[in-house]
Chain A
């Protein structure tokens, strides 16, 4: 048994964990901005997929992966704006709007991928992002190769967590955003434009979801496939709840999910227990539901989440 465990928990395992957690951290923090402002962004799954497609296409034709990331973020921002139009300007149901945005973004991703690439027998691929070892730091034993020999986007994702915590809790903008999510009436009385804040949060959330998609199609994998996101977006929604709407705890949840996912990949590759591989694919989803069941009773969402704000109505 010890040998079995030693085989699993190698340096490579923890490096993989961070790699798997990267898109989840990006998208979860993105969702966090939206929910902290009072809007549940269920467009996440589709926005990630559209980001993966847009990023991959631009990266493929321009030869610049970073240009691809920018395109993915731009596509995500557009989806955020649509979400803002429906939930903020029109005050429509956030649940249904989000599902609508996901269906729309998914359809657009499929449509444009087929339009651009046709139906090639060999799917096009890019030379993906390579890990960037940080000088000196990557030489530290154990920690070095795990933390400091990662993709540039992984570093950015990890840095995004303290940055978000700082923005939310230490700046006037963050205070305004949180107030809009907790008590929009008070924010409005204090001179904060509720609609503008929510639009900003949704555009940021879309950009981060798009970047998460770009990471999937250009770093974690080297091509766009229709199933490249396959439920990761929905897991991020759960991670925000699991993380009690805190950037630190949500990111920790993403790392925990990365741990479970990396573990199932190892078990799958090791042919453990002679189970069909789909059982391992299922595992993270089951555990996410169990985790939700454990924390949801005590979870306290932003008070104005799901509530449209109409200035004139009281």
Chain B
């Protein structure tokens, strides 16, 4: 009798992770097609619009790339943090922190022109890092659960920001709760004439390379992974756990902060309540879809930039609510998480289960996961 059994495996090849991500996305689209049918639209046309709108014109393609930049950065932020099992769900708040710092620096008349952009980038990264260090410190010092604090701090940052925008930081020339525009000299250079494609995408791609290097070629990266995989063993090996978690948080927050810098420097040129349509939360989905691999984050982010951009076109053409994009994110996260099981186990067909030695526990059979 042929039986299937799952065996633990130590490492998974990269092609497997790619295949799993593709499989998870296909499964997600299959599940979500039910919603399209409920909305009374033809499935293939809706998906056609969803995935083709972003490539239907130069404008749409550029807009997709513009959206991909912050998504790459928040995806990296989450990927780094989750590697150390620092559960940073606060990329959204850290993004806003970075955006506020960049908008503040970018509006200073006293700074020399040439110093504006470097200072915006540095201060935005620093602000994001600081906002992420707070929950990391609370965890290492007071054992406060990082999931809860990073989530709550998102709200603290959002209300704090809108309080400033409604009060002392309100643009006197605008009727809306917006910050004053940054100086023209502080606006990020545009890469493609007459579009919004700005320096941010370069920063994001460079960040992906740097994070890949740090995670795979440095002691720090090794420590981050060790702390995440087995903190007890890491402690025995002499790795200072608390310091590694704080460093991870700072890197993660800085990356999310950079996402905010790009939105201010290249897209909005100011801070307002609707600055981020949930880029921080989408970053979690992206990081997981990339199986926490820094280079994998790039295509995963592009995929979700396509979905978010395409959802508008799909909604206009077929009447399917644009929020299908949000459902896709949730379903994709769960599907990918389930798919990742296959990186820990391999399915083996076995002729007959080995007879257990007398007195030993029954052979560890695990039913193949349903669905």
Q: Say whether chain B's binding surface is mostly helix, strand, loop, or mixed.
A: helix
Residue numbers in A under 8 Å from B148 (CB-CB): 234, 237-238, 241, 292
Our pick among A95, A111, A288 for the contact of B147 (Cβ within 8 Å) is: A95
Q: Check A278 against B333 for contact (C-beta < 8 Å).
A: no
Q: Check A103 against B281 for contact (C-beta < 8 Å).
A: yes
Answer whether residue B242 sits at the interface, using C-beta atoms and an 8 A cutoff. Answer: no
Answer whether residue B38 sits at the interface, using C-beta atoms and an 8 A cutoff. Answer: yes
Cα-based distance from A82 to B285 in the complex (angstroms): 17
Answer whether residue A313 sits at the interface, using C-beta atoms and an 8 A cutoff. Answer: yes
- Nearest neighbor of B366 in chain A, beta-carbon distance: A312
Answer whether residue B104 sits at the interface, using C-beta atoms and an 8 A cutoff. Answer: no
The stretch of A85-93, A136-144, A186-194 that contacts the partner chain: A85-93
Contact residues of A between 206 and 222, Cβ < 8 Å to B = none
Residue numbers in A under 8 Å from B167 (CB-CB): 275-276
Q: Check A296 against B145 for contact (C-beta < 8 Å).
A: yes
Residue numbers in B under 8 Å from A107 (CB-CB): 323-330
Contact residues of B between 4 and 50, Cβ < 8 Å to A = 35, 38-39
Contact residues of B between 46 and 105, Cβ < 8 Å to A = 82, 87, 89
Answer whether residue B115 sits at the interface, using C-beta atoms and an 8 A cutoff. Answer: no
Answer whether residue B204 sits at the interface, using C-beta atoms and an 8 A cutoff. Answer: no
- Nearest neighbor of B324 in chain A, beta-carbon distance: A111
Cα-based distance from A101 to B145 in the complex (angstroms): 19
Answer whether residue B275 sits at the interface, using C-beta atoms and an 8 A cutoff. Answer: no
Residue numbers in B under 8 Å from A285 (CB-CB): 152-153, 155-156, 159
Contact residues of B between 307 and 340, Cβ < 8 Å to A = 321-331, 333-334, 337-338
Cα-based distance from A105 to B39 in the complex (angstroms): 17
Q: Check B151 against A234 for contact (C-beta < 8 Å).
A: yes
Residue numbers in B under 8 Å from A282 (CB-CB): 155-156, 159-160, 163
Residue numbers in B under 8 Å from A114 (CB-CB): 321-323
Q: Check A288 against B152 for contact (C-beta < 8 Å).
A: yes
Minimum CB–CB distance for B21 against chain A, Å: 15
Residue numbers in B under 8 Å from A95 (CB-CB): 87, 147
Residue numbers in B under 8 Å from A313 (CB-CB): 364
Minimum CB–CB distance for B253 against chain A, Å: 16
- Nearest neighbor of B335 in chain A, beta-carbon distance: A100
Residue numbers in B under 8 Å from A297 (CB-CB): 142-143
Minimum CB–CB distance for A74 against chain B, Å: 17
* Given known A-B contacts A106-B330, A115-B321, A297-B142, A90 and B338 have beta carbons under 8 A apart: yes
Answer whether residue B365 sits at the interface, using C-beta atoms and an 8 A cutoff. Answer: yes
Residue numbers in A under 8 Å from B327 (CB-CB): 104, 107-108, 111
Cα-based distance from A269 to B39 in the complex (angstroms): 42
The interface centre, meaning the residue of B144, B164, B329 with most chain A CB atoms within 10 A of its CB, is B144
- Nearest neighbor of B142 in chain A, beta-carbon distance: A293
Answer whether residue A281 sits at the interface, using C-beta atoms and an 8 A cutoff. Answer: yes
Residue numbers in A under 8 Å from B331 (CB-CB): 104
Residue numbers in A under 8 Å from B328 (CB-CB): 107
Minimum CB–CB distance for A67 against chain B, Å: 21
Residue numbers in B under 8 Å from A276 (CB-CB): 162-164, 166-167
Residue numbers in A under 8 Å from B138 (CB-CB): 289, 292-293, 296
Q: Check A115 against B39 for contact (C-beta < 8 Å).
A: yes
- Nearest neighbor of B166 in chain A, beta-carbon distance: A276
Q: Check B156 against A104 for contact (C-beta < 8 Å).
A: no
Q: Check A97 against B334 for contact (C-beta < 8 Å).
A: yes
Contact residues of B between 160 and 188, Cβ < 8 Å to A = 160, 162-164, 166-167
Q: Check A106 against B152 for contact (C-beta < 8 Å).
A: no
Q: Check B145 against A96 for contact (C-beta < 8 Å).
A: no
Contact residues of A between 269 and 304, Cβ < 8 Å to B = 275-279, 281-282, 285-286, 288-289, 292-293, 296-297, 299
11 A-B pairs with CB atoms under 8 Å apart are A90-B369, A97-B334, A97-B337, A103-B284, A104-B333, A110-B326, A111-B323, A234-B155, A235-B152, A282-B156, A296-B142
Could you list 17 further interchain pairs (A-B, Cβ under 8 angstroms) beyond the known A103-B284, A297-B142? A90-B369, A92-B341, A100-B330, A101-B334, A103-B329, A103-B333, A107-B323, A115-B321, A234-B155, A276-B162, A285-B156, A289-B138, A292-B144, A296-B143, A296-B144, A312-B364, A312-B365
